[in-house]
Copies of this chain bind each other. A is one copy, B any other.
Amino acid sequence: MLATILHAAGDIRVEERPEPTILAPTDAIIRVTASCVCGSDLWPFRGADALIAPTAMGHEYVGVVEQVGSRVTTVKPGQFVIGSFFASDNTCPNCLAGYQTSCVHRQGVSGAQAELLRVPLADGTLVATPGMPEADLVPSLLTLSDVMGTGWFAAVAANVQPGGTVAVVGDGAVGLLGILSAKQMGAGRVIAMSRHASRQALAIEFGATDVVEERGDAGVARIKELTGGLGADSVLECVGTQESMMQAIRSARPGGHVGYVGVSHDVELPGLELFFSHVHLHGGPAPVRQYLPELIDLVWTRQIDPGKVFDQTLPLADAAAGYKAMDKRHAIKVLLRS
C-alpha cells in the first residue's frame, strides 16, 4: 500500500509499504478515506523535532473499518469511523474524567497518511457515523479527528461563555476552528489575531467579529483597547511558542481563562508574571474522543462546516506537495484523498 514516510527533515516521500495487520485483539484496521497534514507534522518536517528513524506520518483520519480484532465490540467492518490521534480505552479514570488523551493506556496513532491504518484500542478510540456520509461531509468529519476537536477544546479550556469576549492567538487551522467553536458556544465577541488576508476572511466567515493584525506587545495593547482596558474573558492559544503563550496570558483579563493547545516548543512561563496575571491556565493535547459524538452530530446535521479549513486537496501520492504548501503557508490545511 502507499504510505507517507518522513526520512529526514524536508525529505518526505509516499512509497510502498506492507499493509498493517491486527497485532492486538483490540486493534482495528481501517481503509483511510481521507487524511491530512497537521501543523504539528511540520515540526519534524522542519527539523524542529528530532527524528530517530524514518517515520510513518499522519494522525488525522476518517475511513471505513476493514477488519477488527477478536475483542472489538463497538465498531464493525463496513462502518465509517473517526478516531483521535491518541488511542484510548475510554474506560480508565482519566478517560471517564474526560481526558482521553491522558488515558492510562494511551497509545499514539501514526501512519494515517496511507491507504490503510491500524488503530489500537478501537472500542475506546473510534466512533462510527450514523451511516456512510455524503461526499461533501467528509472534509468536515475529518477535522473532528484532531483540528476541530482541538479548537473546540481550546474554547472549552478557555471557558468560553455565552456573551463572553474571546481572543484567538494563531490563525492556523486550529485557531480558525477555535473561532468557529467560540461562536458555536455563543461568544459575544470573537477577536481573531491574524495578518493574512485569506485567513482573516475565513476567520470572519467562522464568526470572528474583530481582526487584530498586531502581534506581541502591540497585539496585547489592541486587545486591551477593544476590551475596556481589561483584557478578554477567554483567550485561545493555538501556536505553542513563547511569544504566543505570553501574548495569550497578557491578553486575558484578571480572572480570565487561557486555553492553550499549541504543542509547547521551548516555552518557559515566568512564575511571578503568571502569579500577578490572575489568569486561569488550562490546555494540553485535546481529548477529541470526548467531543466526537457531539461534533459528529453538529456536522451530520450541517450546523457547522469546519471542513472549510481545507483549501487544498491532493491525492495521497502527492502528500509531499501538501507538506510544502503548508510549510510555506501557501495552504491553511491540506486534505489527502487515499
Q: Which A positions have Cβ atoms within 8 angstroms of B?
A: 93-94, 97-99, 101-102, 104, 228-230, 240, 242, 245, 253-255, 260, 263-272, 274-285
Which residues of chain B are near A270, meaning CB under 8 Å? Answer: 267-268
**CA A254 to CA B93, docked complex, whole Å:** 10
How far apart are the CA atoms of A228 and B277 in the complex, in Å?
Answer: 34
CB distance from A13 to the nearest CB of B (A): 29
| Partner of A264 from B101, B245, B271, B283 at Cβ < 8 Å | B271
Of B271, B276, B284, the contact of A285 (CB 8 Å cutoff)? B276
Task: State A278–B274 Cα separation when bound (angstroms).
Answer: 17
Please, which residues of chain B bring their CB within 8 A of the CB of A104?
A: 229
- Asked if residues A94 and B253 are in contact (CB atoms below 8 Å), the reply is yes
Known: A94-B254, A97-B255, A255-B94. A278 touches B228 (CB 8 A): no
Give the complex CA separation of A275 and B283 in angstroms: 6
A-B CB contact pairs (8 Å), 18 listed? A93-B228, A93-B230, A94-B230, A94-B255, A99-B254, A99-B255, A102-B255, A264-B275, A265-B271, A267-B271, A268-B268, A268-B270, A268-B271, A274-B281, A275-B284, A276-B284, A276-B285, A281-B281
Query: Does B280 lie within 8 Å of A280, measured CB to CB?
Result: yes
Known: A264-B272, A281-B282. 10 other contacts (CB 8 A): A97-B255, A98-B255, A102-B255, A102-B276, A240-B271, A242-B271, A263-B275, A276-B284, A278-B285, A279-B282
- A269→B245 CA distance, assembly (Å): 12
Of the candidates A98, A271, A280, the one having the most CB atoms from chain B within 10 angstroms of its own CB is A271
- Residues in chain B near residue A253, CB distance under 8 A: 93-94, 97
A251 to nearest B CB, angstroms? 15
Given the contacts A264-B272, A268-B268, A269-B271, A281 and B284 also touching, CB distance less than 8 Å: no
Nearest chain-B residue to A257 (Cβ)? B282
Min CB distance A229 to B, Å, is 8
Query: Smallest distance from the beta carbon of A231 to chain B beta carbons, Å?
Result: 10
Known: A228-B93, A270-B268, A282-B280. A275 touches B260 (CB 8 A): yes
Nearest-neighbor residue (CB-CB) of A97 within chain B = B255
Cα A280 to Cα B266 with chains together (Å) = 20
Cα A282 to Cα B228 in complex, Å, equals: 23
Per CB-CB distance, the 10 closest pairs between chain A and chain B, nearest first, are A267-B271, A264-B271, A102-B254, A269-B269, A281-B281, A264-B272, A99-B254, A99-B255, A278-B284, A280-B282
A230 and B97 CA atoms in complex are apart in Å by: 11
Q: How far is the CB of A331 from chain B (nearest CB, A)?
A: 26
State A270–B267 Cα separation when bound (angstroms). Answer: 6
Residues of the B chain whose Cβ atoms lie less than 8 Å from the Cβ of A282: 279-281
In whole angstroms, how far apart are the Cα atoms of A59 and B81 in the complex?
A: 61
